[in-house]
Structure 1
Amino acid sequence: MKRIMVSIAAAASAALALSACAGSAGSAGGSNAAGGEGFDYGASQEDVDALLADLEPVKLKYQPSANSPESTGAPSAEMFKEYIEERSGGKIEIEIIWGQAIAPYTEIDDALTDGRLDLAYTIPAYSPAEYPAFNALMAYSQFGPTSPMEAELATGAMMAELAWSNEAVMAEFEDQGLTVLSSMIIGGEYYMMCNPDNTGVEAQDWDGRSVRAGSTMNELVIRGAGASPVSLEYGEIFEALQRNTIGCAFVQFAAATNFGIPEVAPNISYLTEGSVAGRVSNVQLAGSSFQNLPLAYQQIVFDAEQYSWGGWQRNVVDSKALGIEQAIGANGEIGPIAEDVQQDMIDAQLEAVRNAEDQGLMAPEVEDQAKELAEKWAGVPEELGYEDGGDLLDIHEWYTPGEVDFMPFATKLYEDVVLPHRPE
């Protein structure tokens, strides 16, 4: 497998070496309502330091998804913090709030609005009534490719670009006074993780089986399999599986591994044809305080999002390798869902796209746009040196957590797609 070992500092240096014209689509050379002058993406650190010299220091509260500094998701938050503090010369201090200590996902928007939080990672999929367009767009991730690593990169980029270009999705956040930093963040492919009392993957095995669902999209797919969806917070899943209150959980490794779910639900099954809808259900936002920051500070925070994205992508793949090790250690059975059940699941989630169109949430051309973007991004990971060394079953043998640097891909996504949305 090709390994990419580029440090944060090296990646940052590469970005800063860009000419000013490289960021012209989103560059700012004047001032905005928040006051102060902006700088071009790729400006030298010396120029940035001079621009910030007379600005007052600020401290921003940031709540990531990670439960603790030991979580596989922690590097994403730490890379985000490190870039901001280094690029600002210490003028911006980031206080990381671990473990949803200030607000749970369903209350994060309020916390961003009332000032308890300044920056946060959140999951709009938990609030479909408040974010109908966002939730509708999630269904289009089913058109992305699927594989343990390359396809996660490609689908994440595909959906990020699709969301940034969708005015209805962006408006749902902007109307609340929130600033989008990352439009859609991939959580990774979904897998059925079942406890030892639930081993079968044929149609009759799924009939009536209780399966944890985390979103309305999950519920649709679970029902397609013939199972019964059950709504549970992540903190409740482990015990529910252990006590056989539920037989399975429909989850992503990025979250499941942190909670040890593969240890109590080691029987893991998955789609081999097509991808699960809704695998890109997260977003990173800035709150009401963001617009009051000097423009240069806004730009630094916005530019840092590529580091958050790169660190999160590492989490998505690292957690798969760790989760498979957990499942194997618990004598789990790992393999594909029966083909006829897979087809029923795929047919069910296609209905979500039709529903989005019928309800006027998405235009008919969005499906073609999604498929075009999937094709556009499918080969980019390999071009940059990322290559699957096998499949999910043996990922712990060909992929070593922490050894692959995803910043080259994250920076390309930022420069090609996100940069035009940079504050100015």
Structure 2
Amino acid sequence: MVALSGGRGVRGLALALGACSVLALSACADTQGRGAGGGGGQGVPQGATIEQYKAAFADVRPIKLTTQSPSPKGSVTGKNVEDYLKAVTEWSGGKITFEVTYSNGVAPPAEVDDALVDGRLDIGQVLPIYEPSEYPANAALIQASFVSDQTPVAGTLQSNAWPNEVAFKTPEITEEFEKKGIKLMVPYYDSGANVMFCRKPRRDLASLKGVQTASGGQAQNAELTALGAAPASVPYTEQFESLQRGVVDCTVSSFTVGVLGGFVKVAPNVTIDPAAGFALAPGGMAINQRTWDGLPLVARQLLWDRLDVFLASNIEGKIWPNIAQAVSQAKAAGGSVGPFSDDARKAMTGANSRMLDTMRREAKVKDPGAFVTNIQAAADRWLKEARAAGPGEDVAHADFDQWYKPGKVDANRYVGKVYEQVFLPHRPS
């Protein structure tokens, strides 16, 4: 972890941490916190222009933060990360820079939280779905992600808004990371709706019975079991080979993961149903708490304010282009995109309803019933906002490759509302 700022205390912090071994990091850093002068300085008002930010950084020493991207440099799938880092560097006048490793080169997805704790990464994309026993409140939020609308425009906008609202209103969700020394910046962002990719057409219960299907978590396991399929645990990095070799016949993944993993051509039969959504496998963006606390106030404000770039790019720069590309690839490989049959749809909606009922009693939060009520209310409210921001009548996923063009839908205004209503109240001051 490297973090330098204009404050003498923070500079001392960085030098001290440089002398610490990774194993002794926590003990050494305990003597170098806010009391040494870290995290101070002048800030800027909310809504500050780029010129105001650059002026505020004039006397700040250079800051270098370590991070990684999940994809190769320049890939659409990592555009949200790259656009965010670029914006922060630009708005800081070059005072904040990033040492970026691509294709999860520092830590695999399931270990990013550990890399944040031990200092290999300052900022990273965490995936609590891989460790539900360590992050039970986060797992509950993820489990409920099927309540989002299953449309490519409004549904995508909605699903990247309401979970963040609920997360910030549910202390247990952020506290699960805080107790490890990690600060959640974006509690939740996804890669678009999850769909079922299969080697052969499988949309009814008869064709799904006993089919080995890669699954991304407990909620998906329950949904697949209700369909009669056999859930299998396969990391997304291994799904292409597993599908190609027939180890599994299907996988539940997002279009983004399908493109990133390159497996659409071997599993081009895609099922996504407007009335029966799969739970998602989202991530969050987080920063080492000591790194955060040691940064000058203006740096923390900038990292927070430019989350709007991360959120907008995640939708416009990653999800929508990947949906279009995946649908096109599926068609080119002789597959198709369509809904479940009536019997499978009924099985899916039944499983989802049962999961919500269980969550009302058992979710690992202070008031499980209120938690589910908040989820449903937030999802409804942000769906209305999303439909107002979208093109009106939403397009079907099967037609998205022909309908979508870059810039056809401007997500910035919608994301501005999300930032103002959800993130702004937590802006450093």
TM-score range, shorter chain: 0.7 to 0.9
Q: Where does residue 174 of structure 1 map in the other structure? A: 178
Change (3 A) 1:186 1:284: same
Does the aligned pair in 2 maintain the 1:209–1:228 contact within 8 Å? yes
Q: Cα distance, 1:360 vs. partner? A: 4.7
Q: Distance in 1 between matches of 2:102 and 2:418?
A: 27
CA contact (8 A) 1:163 1:170 kept: yes
The letter for the 2-side match of 1:348 is A
Specify the alignment match of 1:7 in structure 2. none
User: Which of residues 149, 155, 170 is equivalent to 1:151?
Assistant: 155
Query: Which amino acid in the other structure matches residue 283 of structure 1?
Result: G
2:137 to 133, 144, 160: 133
1-structure distance, mates of 2:333, 2:51? 54
The Cα offsets for residues 137-190 of structure 1, whole Å up to 9 and x where unpaired, read as: 122222222211111101221112111111111111111111111111122111
Tell me the CA shift for residue 274 of structure 1. 3.7
Task: Tell me the alpha carbon deviations over residues 216-245 of structure 1, each in whole angstroms, 9 at most, x when there is no partner.
Answer: 221111111110001011121111111111
In 1, Cα distance between the equivalents of 2:390 and 2:149? 17
Classify the secondary structure of the residue corresponding to 2:265.
helix
Aligned to 1:313: 315
Range with greater deviation from structure 2 (175-184 or 371-380): 371-380
The answer as to whether partners of 1:276 and 1:346 remain within 8 angstroms in 2 is no
Q: Choose the corresponding residue for 1:247, options 241, 246, 249.
A: 249
Report the CA distance shift for 1:349/1:33 in structure 2 as closer, same or farther (over 3 A): farther
C-alpha distance in structure 1 between counterparts of 2:91 and 2:209, whole Å: 55
Partners of 2:216 and 2:281 within 8 A in 1: no
Shift of 1:359: 2.8
CA distance 1:384–1:272, shift in 2 (3 Å): closer
Cross-structure match for 1:261: 263
Give the percent of matched residue pairs that are identical in Structure 1 and Structure 2: 29
Q: Following the alignment from structure 1 to structure 2, what is the Cα–Cα distance between the partners of residues 318 and 59?
A: 31
- TM-score normalised by L of structure 2: 0.86
Residue 203, structure 1, aligned to residue 205, structure 2: yes
**CA contact 2:215–2:231 (8 Å) conserved in 1:** yes
Residue 366 of structure 1 pairs with residue 371 of structure 2: yes
Question: Contact (CA 8 Å) 1:149, 1:387: kept in 2 or not?
Answer: no
| Inter-partner Cα distance in structure 1 for 2:363 and 2:127 | 23
RMSD: 1.9
Q: Residues 122 and 403 from structure 1, CA distance in 2 versus in 1: closer, same or farther, beyond 3 angstroms?
A: farther
User: Which range is displaced more, 163-172 or 360-369?
Assistant: 360-369
1:79 to 71, 75, 83: 83
Higher relative contact order (CA 8 A, sep 6+): 1
For 1:403 and 1:378, the matched residues in 2 are separated by 19
Counterpart position of 1:379: 384
Measured after TM superposition, the shift of residue 404 of structure 1 is: 4.3
Q: Is the Cα–Cα contact under 8 Å of residues 395 and 403 in structure 2 kept in the other structure?
A: yes
Say whether residues 1:53 and 2:58 are aligned partners. yes
CA distance in 2, matches of 1:148, 1:385: 10
Structure 2: 5+ residue runs without aligned partners?
Answer: 1-36
Question: 1:238 pairs with 206, 218, 240, which one?
Answer: 240
Deviation at 1:294, TM superposition (A): 0.9
